[in-house]
Amino acid sequence: MSDTSADAADSGNPEHQEGGKYSVKGKEYTRDTRYITTRVTADGRDGFPVEAGRYRLVAARACPWANRSIIVRRLLGLEDAISLGLPGPTHDERSWTFDLDPGGRDPVLGIERLQEAYFKRDPEYPRGITVPAIVDTTTGAVVTNDFAQITLDLSTEWRAHHRDGAPDLVPQRHRDEVDEVNQRVFTEVNNGVYRCGFAGTQEAYDDAYARLWTALDWLEDRLGGQRYLVGDTITEADVRLFTTLVRFDAVYHGHFKCNRNKLAEMPALWAYARDLFQTPGFGDTVDFTQIKQHYYVVHSDINPSGIVPGGPDLSGWVTPHGREALGGRPFGDGTPPGPVHDGERVDPAHTPLR
């Protein structure tokens, strides 16, 4: 999936800021997956040891790649160990900005733009200023923006700081299957909707559209007989799929032309998505207003008017899903996370959860 073209190193396009830059070179969308791969680990082998209070997770609610890190942090109870910085839903060609905070500055890092933390790491940083990013508060510099590794490390390297009853999101007995499912979901679904939305030709779009719906039909069949993607508990695989599904009808169906049918018209996937949405740690991190503002405003090449649609109706997200009949134990031998921390609650007007 890596793009080594010169275009991929140009951070001037505002669409290059969401979970990894992309290039539409020729006809096909390609995501640049070259990240800062430094890791925060228990043994500190990269120079950044796990340490409660030292790091800040900067993750916009609007971005699906960042949303998954917010979910995992909450499921594992890492709120007191890793603080959360929340940029607003839109950004310009330079960077995500902290326009939701008083004075337009992150209250911990003291910066207006996430770009400042990247430039503290590398004054000539050449790629997109992406979220999620983990920032070292002792230096103000980004440690990593490798979104896939970030959540895996939260589950494995930060175990000493997990809450009592935290679920095992990467169970060793299912690790190979989780990795296999994650790979297909990433290439065909998480990234597949973008491949449709930013296709440069009809041929590229038709190919992307077929691939996306082949994968969604596979998931519909898989989830028709089991409550979760792997095993009988929530895993990393469910987190990764959820953040695309929760945006599907609100954005991808129309904005990205993924319109064979709506998620709400796929019985198993729709029930599965509602099941997760109603599970503490999932829906309570989702801000539909910010999601729509991000895609419809920032993607000016797709939506030059900048008009944000009023729909869809969100009330269906809190209707009964019936997935309990399939069995399963959402948190395994653990427990649900407690109430959302003060200062991290989604605006009640932006979600059907009240």
What positions carry a catalytic annotation? Answer: 63, 194
CB contact set of 297 (below 8 Å; sequence gap of 6+): 89, 90, 303, 306, 308
Place of tokens 């989780």: 178
CB contact set of 217 (below 8 Å; sequence gap of 6+): none
CA distance 19 to 15: 10
Among candidates 194, 239, 36, which has minimal Cα distance to 130?
36
Q: What six digits make up the tokens of 300?
A: 């000016």
Among candidates 225, 79, 229, which has minimal Cα distance to 161?
79
CA distance 5 to 201: 19
Residue 144: strand pairing partners? 134
**Helix axes of 267-277 and 236-247: crossing angle, nearest 10 degrees:** 110
CA distance 343 to 302: 33
CA distance 288 to 266: 20
Name the DSSP class of 214.
H
**270 is known to lie in a ligand binding site:** no
Binding residues for glutathione: 96
Binding-site sequence positions: 96
